[in-house]
Structure formats: structure tokens, C-alpha cells
Amino acid sequence: MCPFKPVIVFNGIQFKRSCSYECKPFGICDVVWFCFGLLLLADVGWAEEKKPNILVILADDLGYSDLGCYGGEISTPNIDRLANNGARFTNFYNSARCCPSRASLMTGLYPTQAGIGDFTTPKPAANKGPGYLGRLRNDCVTIAEVLKPSGYRCYYVGKWHMHPQTGPIDRGFDEFYGYTNDHSHDQFDKDYYERLPKGHPKEIDPPEQDFYATDVFNRYALEFMQQGKRSQQPWLLFLGHSSPHFPLQAPKERVDRYYERYLQGWDTLRGQRFDRMKQLGLLRETGQPLPVRSEVPVDEERIANGFAGKQNPAWDSLDKDRQRDLARRMAVYAAMVESIDRGVGELVKHLEDTHELANTLILILSDNGACYEWGPFGFDGVSRKGETVLYSDSGLDRVGGRGTHSSYGSAWANLSNTPLRSYKHFTYEGGIGTPMIAHWPGRISQKAGWIRTPAHLMDIMPTILEATGASYPTSWRNESIQPLEGVSLFPAMRGEVLEDRTLGFEHQGARALRKGIWKTVWTKRVPYTV
């Protein structure tokens, strides 16, 4: 009998060598067996293709032009590097607010199809139907639920905001660190953030004085990447930052670097952004001037700082104390965005060090446009219950510190959204337009550049399905599943033209339709504009 009986495993099937006669090493049996192995490898193009890792990074309330690669003055070199070696979308849309956008991204559906057309609530919204349950519906699936049957390990870090009753572990993710309830929280309060499944140890647990949520989210993303590497399985990692959503908070030394820059004011900086956007090719040279400052939405005068329904004020019209207060607020915001970028650099370095960057699809985007709440001077305290505080002299250093709860207001949000109109909540471009960067060496060409085809958060799921080869189910947990609404973006990133389609938007009475170059908008206070 032949003493050599190796095994070849192909697509989970074992092929065992067995001979019924005597043979010598490297004789005829070895030659035949070697040729058989070559045939198997040739059948799959030498070897079965390795499935890609997927990294999705979602910022919260990031404006359209805040990133350096979109014209912003905030330092984001790591994100810029990915953008310069990948694709950038100029007409990428979200769903105007945190939770509807997350529901759409996670399911490949419109928010109402996913069950979160409005906000997350503990009970279904009265008389509003299944599109407004306030949680993910049972007849939709998440990206994690689709990828797990294909062998993926699935990790989630940060802000969930799709209701704790349909939390990340319930909806397909293996590991989680962050918070499942509420839109934001004190970034220095470590007790608010949890590790799931319950009982899993906190691998990263800095002391209270060193805790800053954005940094800890970045570190957990790296930890979960390392766990995915050790599992020897492909992985999905969703990093949902709460930055730069209010409360505006960041380590003081990062804030200090930006303070002098923002003393220039929003009018000067809007003009500079507008010029850079044209230099980058994001905006085509049409001869059109920078649009005028956006209006402050109509709201209670107490929280709109007396500017409800009026245009944001000129920077030079403000007194020096107000300018210093506002410059400090914007400096904190910028430091939060920079902190996201620092984490991106750490994650990309790990992927390079482990030779996984070329096999990882990275997507970076925002959940909605910049947030105006509630007037040009921002607020302090808990949203509508708060009031506007004027910080001056030594009090300026308190802005962005532990226990504070400040926003930066409508005029800085107008800068963040340059040159777009309006803000988060609304369906004008400033509310639903987001930067979107896609990076995958070898699969997304550096020549992809600016992609002007309109696209939407619901396109992320089918894009990931094409990248991974995973199949979208027709049923799940004994429920018939709605068909995908989105489309894969890979044709657009290959230079092809996506089929023209109508995109719809609706949130709390603000509505819009876009088809081709035409868009119509309805708001709560104006019948419609085209």
C-alpha cells in the first residue's frame, strides 16, 4: 500500500489520496495527485478569492465641507489620504437626522421601510403606521445579519440610535461597545458607555480622568479589528462616532490649536472654503458667487437668540466677547472632527502593518448635515431646555470641558455646510448632503476622483453585498423580507452611469424629491421650492 495519503480540502470537501498498490515516494501516484491538485486550483482561478473586510465610519452631524478633502480648514490628513486614493461623492444623500439615517444605512431601505421614519421611541408612534415604530422592523435585515451567514465576524462601536429593544447584538453583531439609547452624552462620562453582550469584559477601560469617548471608540475599533484578525474570518466593523454632535467636548490641548483660526469668523472662512472647493474640483467653475448666509429656522425666540426666520448675522456685527465665545465653540467642534481623523490614521496603520489594507473596503460619511440648534449663538444645557451662555475671559476654557453641554449654533453650521442651504432636520441640500469617501486599493481606482451621480445611504448595503458576494435573503426569522431599495455603487466607481432614479426624502414634515438635475422641496413652513 502507498504510505503517502495527503488530503486536499476544496470548498469544504476533503479529497483523500488512497492507493491499492505499492509505490515509491515521488512516483506515479505523486505526479497524478499533484496534477489533480492543480486542476482544483485552476477551477477557482488558482485559489478561492479572499473575502474583503468592511470598515464603515459614520460621523455624527458632520457638515458637507468640514473635511480637508472637501475644502474644510479642519486638519484631517488621514481621511484626506484615503480620499485622494479612492472615490469621493459630490451628491451623496442621507435621511436628514441621526436615527432615520442609521436605519437606512443599516438595512438598504428608506427609513420608513425600516421602521424609523421619525425618531426612536419606546412605543410605536400613534396613528403613524409601521414606518414610524421607532425601532427596526422585523421584515428588514441589517448588514450584519446578511454577512454573518457568509462567515463574517461583525463588530459595532459607538452610537447605535436604532432603539435598545432592537440593539446591535439582537440585530446580528457579535461584539459592541458604545451606547444604544439616546442621541448623545457627555464624552467624559465613562459610566454611560457599555460593553455587550453583557458579561463580556471591557478590554479598554481607562481611568475617569483619561476617558474621552471619541478616543475610546477609536481604540475599541482597533481592538475589534485585532479580534477579527485573530478569528481568521473576514470582518465587518461599524464605527459610529458621536462626534461632532453636541455636547461639544474635546481635550483642551486640541481645542487650543484651533481657537485663533476661528477668530477670523464664519464669513471669511466660508469664502475660503468656497475657493478651496473649486480648486479641488468639487465645485465646477460656473462664475456663481458664494451663496448668502442661510436663515435661522423659525423657532422660539428664546432659543433662536432673537434671529428666528432671519439671516444669520455678519461676523463683524458681533461684539468681541461674543466672537471669542463663538470661536471657542467652533474650535471644540474642529477638535472633535480632528479626533475622528486621528483614529482613522491608527486604524489604517494597523491595516497596513497586517497587510490587510488592500483587502479592506473603507467607507466614510456623515449621518446628516451640520446641526443649527437653535440659533447663531448656540445653546448650553439640555437642548430646548437650555439657554445660551456667554463665556468670557477665564470662562472660555470651560467650553468643551467635562460636564458641559454646548452647541455651536446656526451660523457655524452654515459654515460647516458651505455652500449648501439649511441644516440637519430639513431636506434642503444642507440637511441631507454628506461627504462620502470610498477606499479599496485595486478595486476602486485612484482615478475615480469625484463621482457626481446622486447616491443615498440605502446604497451602502447593496454595495457591501457586491463587495463580499453575500446574498440578500427573501426571508429571515420566519419573516418575509422587503426587497432592497438601494443599488450598488460599484458601477459608478468604475466610471459607469447609474440608472436614473427618483430619490425621496421625508422627516417630520420636511420632504423632497430628486430626479436628475431637478429637485423639489417641501418644508413645514413653505409649500414647496424647485
Active site residues: 98, 161
CA gap 302, 249 in Å, rounded: 24
Query: Using N-to-C axis directions, what is the helix angle for 409-416 and 266-280, rounded to 10°?
Result: 10
Polymer length of the chain: 530
- Cell readout for 398 is 470651560
Query: Using N-to-C axis directions, what is the helix angle for 320-353 and 213-231, rounded to 10°?
Result: 10
Which is nearest to 375 in space by CA: 431, 430, 299? 299
CA gap 335, 317 in Å, rounded: 26
Instruction: Find out whether 71 and 280 touch, Cβ atoms under 8 Å.
Output: yes
Q: How big is the chain by its Cα radius of gyration, in Å?
A: 25
- Cell readout for 528 is 414647496
Cβ neighbourhood burial of 461 (10 Å; 0-12, 13-18, 19+): buried
* Buried/exposed code over 253-281 (b: 16+ C-beta within 10 A; e: otherwise): ebbeebbeebbebbbebbebbbebbeebe
Distance of CA 277 to the CA centre of its chain: 21
Beta-bridged to residue 361, according to DSSP, are 54
Q: Which residues contact 253 (CB under 8 A, 6 or more apart)?
A: none
Q: Which residues contact 449 (CB under 8 A, 6 or more apart)?
A: 87, 88, 281
Beta-bridged to residue 226, according to DSSP, are none
Between the alpha carbon of residue 514 and those of residues 64, 427, 435, 456, the distances in Å are 18, 11, 18, 11
- How many CB atoms sit inside 10 A of residue 367's CB? 28
